[in-house]
A and B are shown apart, each in its own frame.
With several copies, the nearest count.
Chain A
Amino acid sequence: MSEAARTAPPALHLTLEGFEGPLDLLLELARAQKVDLQAISIVSLVDQYLAVLEQARAVRLEIAADWLVMAAWLAWLKSRLLLPEEAAPDEDAEALAGALTDRLVELERMRAAAAWLAGRLQLGYEVFARGAAESLTVQDRSGIAADLPALLQAYAAARRRALARRPYTPKPRRLWTVQEALARLSRMVGGLPDWSVLQRFLPEGLADPVERRAALASTLIAALETARGGGVELRQDRPFGPILIRRRLEKPDAKAA
């Protein structure tokens, strides 16, 4: 489309469809001036642009906003450029015209770069690479992907699963009988000179709290039983305080009597 336009510059105005935007058209018009882009006449460029746009409007009413915005901006720029020297904002207009030229030059450069790239021998078009690469790699699968967290997780998971599957069977309890507590108490109390807490008379190695409480109860009953028989004395200084126990001394005997 633009190819046709270039060969016949006067016919540019027939359509805007071949252009990718106002800048594209401006570049084409600037080229038509056949001078260095740096030396183009912005004023004549503006006139040409507006003329093309006018023609296009005659053909089709609907013209995209960016074309019209560019037209308005260019018209304003032209009026500024044509103002007499003394008008203050002249420098602005010069700068804006320069900026427009710079943009056109940059677009021109990028067009040239695209053309340069397109002219290269391209991979997959003019030259070809190895179609099916050989993989010169061997997989060593001797390593193991496992770390400590995974190991621990596996253990926990296995146990949890095994436990959940197992039918619940209450563990047979090893309970400390009152007889056993009596035996232990009578064996131990002789060696104790002074008050001792009841807990000292529990069997050793009771980790299970239930078994421990049961043993405590048995030992208390045994202590009460022994105290009733006069073997020991019991004492509790305050409610829920520690229960103390000691061998009965001879002297209070008289007092009791």
Chain B
Amino acid sequence: MQRPPEDATDPFPPAGGAPPAEPDPAAFEQALRLAEALVFASDRPVTPARLQPVLPPGCEARTVLEALAARCAGRPVALVEVAGGFAFRTAPDLAPALTRVVEVPRRLPRAAMETLAIIAYHQPVTRAEIEEIRGASLSQQTLEALLEMGLIAPRGRKEVPGRPTLWATTPRFLEQFGLRALSDLPRREELVSEPTLPLAAPGSGQPTA
């Protein structure tokens, strides 16, 4: 059951030598248990830094978390890396059954999704700049919906006349879309690769819109 850490960035010496930290199996097993319990109990992603002090000496938090993720693969509740930490998430294939009893919020309308995408790619960005890109005015309702879901937050003011608020995405945004970091977003150049069949339908994938 127990696996050695599989950290590709750290090819550990095959034998002999003195691998920096190859903790004894019992300690590593305990580390896995502690990590699972801590991440399971938490309602926010647990960073390696948060886990580290809890672990037995010689266990490196990220190694433990990655080993745990591998061990949990295929379980109904899997460990995923998100928003700078690790969190348990239900397996996507179970969603149809779960949504029969778990309440699911309304999906964001197209205008809100576009606004969110613009904030994600242009942050920090003012409301006027968002409107400029969309070529349409931004309704208060849309802004409030994004704020209420905790997906965006003000981040300072732009030093121009009127000092308009600058908007940026939050860690909650990363969690919502299962991103480890903003750098997980597709690069801008990749967004429109096939000019003729671009994003087949803006507003697709949103059957409720």
Contacts and interface: CB of A to CB of B under 8 A. Distances in A.
Interface in A98-128: 103, 105-128
A34 interface: yes
Interface residues of B, number: 66
B1 interface: no
Contact of B99 (A112, A115, A117, A136): A136
B101 A132 contact: no
B181 interface: no
B113 A151 contact: yes
Contacts of B107: 118, 125, 144-146
B135 A148 contact: no
Contact of B38 (A136, A157, A158, A168): A136
Given A113-B120, A115-B205, A129 B88 contact: yes
Contacts of B37: 128
A112 to B, nearest CB: 4
Interface string A1-41: 01100100000000000001111101000010011111000
Given A115-B199, A119-B205, A148 B177 contact: yes
A196 B93 CA distance: 89
B178 A123 contact: yes
Nearest to B176: A123
B186 A121 contact: no
Interface of B, secondary structure class, is loop
B15 interface: no
A130 interface: yes
B194 A159 contact: yes
B40 A128 contact: yes
- In this complex, the member of A6, A117, A156, A211 whose beta carbon has the largest number of chain B beta carbons within 10 angstroms is A117
A132 to B, nearest CB: 5
Contact of B41 (A37, A119, A133, A161): A133
B168 interface: no
B197 interface: yes
A132 B117 contact: no
Contacts, number: 284
Q: Which of B99, B106, B134 has the most CB of A within 10 A?
A: B134
Interface string B172-209: 00011111000001101001101111111111111011
A36 B179 contact: no
Nearest to A2: B203
B51 interface: no
Contact of A126 (B92, B135, B179, B206): B92
B105 interface: yes
A256 interface: no
B114 A114 contact: yes
Given A121-B178, A129-B88, A168-B206, A22 B110 contact: no
Given A129-B43, A143-B105, A147-B177, A156 B191 contact: yes
6 contacts: A37-B195, A103-B133, A111-B202, A143-B104, A146-B108, A159-B191
Interface of B: 37-38, 40-44, 87-92, 95, 98-108, 110-111, 113-114, 116-118, 120-121, 133-137, 149, 151, 175-179, 185-186, 188, 191-192, 194-206, 208-209
Interface of A: 2-3, 6, 20-24, 26, 31, 34-38, 103, 105-134, 136-141, 143-148, 150-152, 154-166, 168, 170-171, 207-211
For the complex of A and B, the 9 pairs showing the least CB-CB separation, nearest first, are A23-B135, A162-B135, A133-B43, A155-B117, A21-B136, A128-B41, A143-B105, A113-B117, A145-B105
